């Protein structure tokens, strides 16, 4: 019967992050002692001041459809946030609130990509980028980065990847899965290349903006000549521990925001009204209110890097943001561990699930077949136990 499905869906891969999380949940429900480090999801509760705003919204009878692109006062909060944190000035007509940054990305893809258009993805990239691009009938063009360069694309690599068919560049900083943060100078250097190619639109995914230990976040839209062709994507899932509330947003050139609004109006309408009201509280609060979570992530990053560094064969960069480590585990390829031959990152990730009972995600899903992704959005006790188990299996 699957033959009845569209080619579009048959050509699409299932989200590897969500698939691994589902597999870990299934094994747990069967009674196995699985430590889930596959899903990129904070283990904190949503802060009380945000929950209170949602409760008030329910009591104030926020139960009707909101404007498709979001409540006016939420857009004001987003505009103020862009000004405060990113030095970017937007008008309300340039803001679209969506059901998660994932929908924001899908809207932009549908609005910009024509069949056969190329979209440059510095690899490793977040798992859904390539599939959303393909869904919009675009062609993902992967640019492989190296651990030696902290998994960042150089201006020369960008220049070499551009063809007459290049329509977009998509990247995240801080990066999921590598944790890399592009500095102001690095983004300026990429912008200098892009200025020579005015037809390329950039998606700058800044959803991990506040989970940044390098001290500096910089937005591509604030580089010279980039404002009118950059879509800045952000959301509350990560920094505010609101993954399930499903609110993301963009700041974009007006024509593009209007196009996203048009698509969303036919597909989902406005995002959940209670979650939108809660997001106003989140964005209006000083960033220091979520500082306790960022500090914890920082401590855990150091803990995890230290412990993984003790395992021979793990090569690591120092992630400056997000909550993932992305070790290069290619030293294990060709080895047989616990009777299983490891030929690639997927084999190693499966070995860790089956033998160490630790769920990770294969780097293949992120466009890098030499690495695995480990989320450290988990308690210190879980992280210590998980890495001990990984070490026991890999050094057996
Ligand atoms: N971009 C990146 C880089 C992500 O890691 C995620 C995580 N889900 C998203 C976008 C989407 O976030 P959400 O839909 O939860 O807002
Ligand atoms: N962004 C998170 C991750 O990469 C959540 C899962 C998803 O949306 O794919 O794990």
41 with 60, same domain: the answer is no
**Dihedrals phi, psi of 120, to nearest 5 degrees:** -80, 125
302 with 370, same domain: the answer is yes
Report how far residue 345's alpha carbon sits from residue 348's, in angstroms, rounded to the nearest whole number.
5
14 with 90, same domain: the answer is no
Give the chain's residues under pLDDT 70.
none
**Please, are residues 324 and 179 in contact by the beta-carbon 8 Å criterion?**
yes
Residue nearest to atom 2 of ligand 2 (CA): 40
220 with 296, same domain: the answer is no
Domain boundary (288, 306, 322) is at 288
Report how far residue 217's alpha carbon sits from residue 244's, in angstroms, rounded to the nearest whole number.
25
Query: Could you tell me the distance, in angstroms and rounded to a whole number, from the CA of residue 102 to the centre of ligand 1?
Result: 6
Q: Ligand 2 pocket: which residues have CB below 6 Å?
A: 15, 17-18, 39-41, 127-128, 176
In this prediction, residue 290 carries a pLDDT of: 97
The total domain count for the chain is: 2
User: Residue 315's beta-bridge partner residues?
Assistant: 328
**CA torsion sign, 378 to 382 to 388 to 394?**
negative
Query: Could you tell me the distance, in angstroms and rounded to a whole number, from the CA of residue 366 to the centre of ligand 2?
Result: 11
Query: Could you tell me the distance, in angstroms and rounded to a whole number, from the CA of residue 127 to the centre of ligand 1?
Result: 10
Residue nearest to atom 5 of ligand 1 (CA): 176
Residue 204 in contact with ligand 1 by CB distance below 6 A = no
Cα torsion 324, 208, 275, 260 to 10°: value is -120
284 with 305, same domain: the answer is no
Which of 16, 20, 37, 41 maximizes ligand 2 atoms within 8 Å of its Cβ, making it the mutation to test the pocket? 41
273 with 301, same domain: the answer is no
Residue 126 in contact with ligand 1 by CB distance below 6 A = yes
With a CB cutoff of 8 Å and minimum separation 6, the contacts of 213 are 294, 297, 298, 301, 320, 321
How many angstroms separate the Cα of 226 from the Cα of each of 180, 222, 232?
A: 21, 7, 11
Domain boundary (250, 270, 288) is at 288
Report how far residue 332's alpha carbon sits from residue 313's, in angstroms, rounded to the nearest whole number.
7
Helix axes 254-267, 100-112, angle to 10 degrees: 110
3-state per-residue secondary structure call for 206-220: CCCCCCECCCCCCCH
In this prediction, residue 158 carries a pLDDT of: 98
Residue 237 in contact with ligand 1 by CB distance below 6 A = yes
What's the CATH code of the domain at 242?
Answer: 3.40.640.10
218 with 186, same domain: the answer is yes
Residue nearest to atom 3 of ligand 2 (CA): 40
165 with 70, same domain: the answer is yes
In this prediction, residue 318 carries a pLDDT of: 97
149 with 263, same domain: the answer is yes
Query: Could you tell me the distance, in angstroms and rounded to a whole number, from the CA of residue 283 to the centre of ligand 2?
Result: 22
| Tens-digit pLDDT profile for residues 27-47 | 889 999 999 999 889 999 999
67 with 38, same domain: the answer is no
Q: Read off the pTM.
A: 0.96
What's the CATH code of the domain at 18?
Answer: 3.90.1150.10
| Tens-digit pLDDT profile for residues 109-120 | 999 999 999 999
H-only helix segments in the chain: 7-10, 16-29, 48-59, 72-86, 100-112, 127-135, 155-161, 184-195, 254-267, 273-284, 291-309, 345-351, 380-394
| Tens-digit pLDDT profile for residues 270-329 | 999 999 999 999 999 999 999 999 999 999 999 999 999 999 999 999 999 999 999 999
Residue 201 CA, distance from chain mean position: 19
357 with 390, same domain: the answer is yes
Domain boundary (266, 288, 310) is at 288
The number of the ligand nearest the C-alpha atom of 366 reads: 2
In this prediction, residue 101 carries a pLDDT of: 98
Which of 12, 23, 40, 359 maximizes ligand 2 atoms within 8 Å of its Cβ, making it the mutation to test the pocket? 40
What's the domain range around 160? 48-288
155 with 216, same domain: the answer is yes
Query: Could you tell me the distance, in angstroms and rounded to a whole number, from the CA of residue 191 to the centre of ligand 2?
Result: 28
In this prediction, residue 11 carries a pLDDT of: 86
With a CB cutoff of 8 Å and minimum separation 6, the contacts of 14 are none
Beta strands at 118-123 and 340-341: parallel, antiparallel or unpaired = unpaired
Query: Could you tell me the distance, in angstroms and rounded to a whole number, from the CA of residue 17 to the centre of ligand 2?
Result: 6
């Amino acid at each position: 019967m699957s033959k009845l499905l569209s080619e579009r869906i048959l050509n699409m891969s299932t989200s590897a992050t969500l698939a691994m999380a589902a597999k870990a949940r299934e094994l747990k429900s069967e009674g196995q002692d699985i430590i889930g480090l596959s899903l990129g999801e904070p283990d904190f509760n949503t802060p009380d001041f945000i929950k209170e705003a949602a409760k008030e919204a329910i009591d104030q009878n926020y139960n009707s459809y909101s404007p498709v692109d979001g409540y006016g006062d939420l857009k004001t909060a987003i505009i103020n946030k862009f000004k405060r944190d990113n030095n970017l000035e937007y008008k309300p007509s340039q803001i679209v609130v969506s059901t998660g940054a994932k929908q924001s990305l899908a809207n932009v893809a549908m609005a910009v990509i024509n069949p056969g258009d190329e979209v440059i993805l510095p690899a490793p990239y977040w798992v859904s980028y390539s599939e959303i691009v393909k869904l919009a009938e675009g062609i993902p063009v992967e640019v492989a980065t190296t651990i030696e360069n902290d998994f960042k694309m150089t201006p020369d690599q960008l220049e070499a990847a551009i063809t007459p068919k290049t329509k977009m560049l998509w990247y995240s900083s801080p990066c999921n899965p590598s944790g890399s943060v592009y500095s102001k100078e690095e983004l300026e250097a990429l912008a200098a290349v892009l200025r020579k190619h005015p037809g390329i639109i950039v998606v700058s995914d800044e959803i991990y903006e506040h989970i940044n230990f390098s001290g500096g976040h910089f937005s591509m839209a604030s580089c010279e000549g980039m404002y009118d062709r950059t879509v800045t994507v952000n959301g509350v899932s990560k920094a505010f521990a609101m993954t399930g509330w499903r609110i993301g947003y963009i700041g974009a050139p007006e024509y593009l925001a209007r196009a996203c609004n048009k698509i969303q109006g036919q597909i989902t309408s406005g995002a959940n009204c209670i979650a939108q009201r809660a997001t106003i509280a989140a964005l209006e609060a000083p960033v220091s209110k979520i500082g306790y979570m960022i500090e914890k992530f920082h401590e855990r990053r150091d803990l995890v890097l230290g412990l993984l560094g003790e395992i021979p064969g793990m090569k690591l960069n120092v992630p400056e943001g997000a909550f993932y480590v992305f070790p290069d585990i290619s030293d294990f390829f060709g080895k047989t561990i616990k009777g299983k031959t490891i030929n690639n990152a997927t084999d190693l990730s499966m070995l860790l699930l089956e033998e160490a009972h630790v769920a990770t995600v294969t780097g293949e899903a992120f466009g890098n077949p030499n690495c695995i992704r480990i989320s450290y959005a988990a308690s210190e006790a879980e992280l210590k136990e998980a890495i001990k188990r990984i070490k026991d299996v890999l050094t057996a």
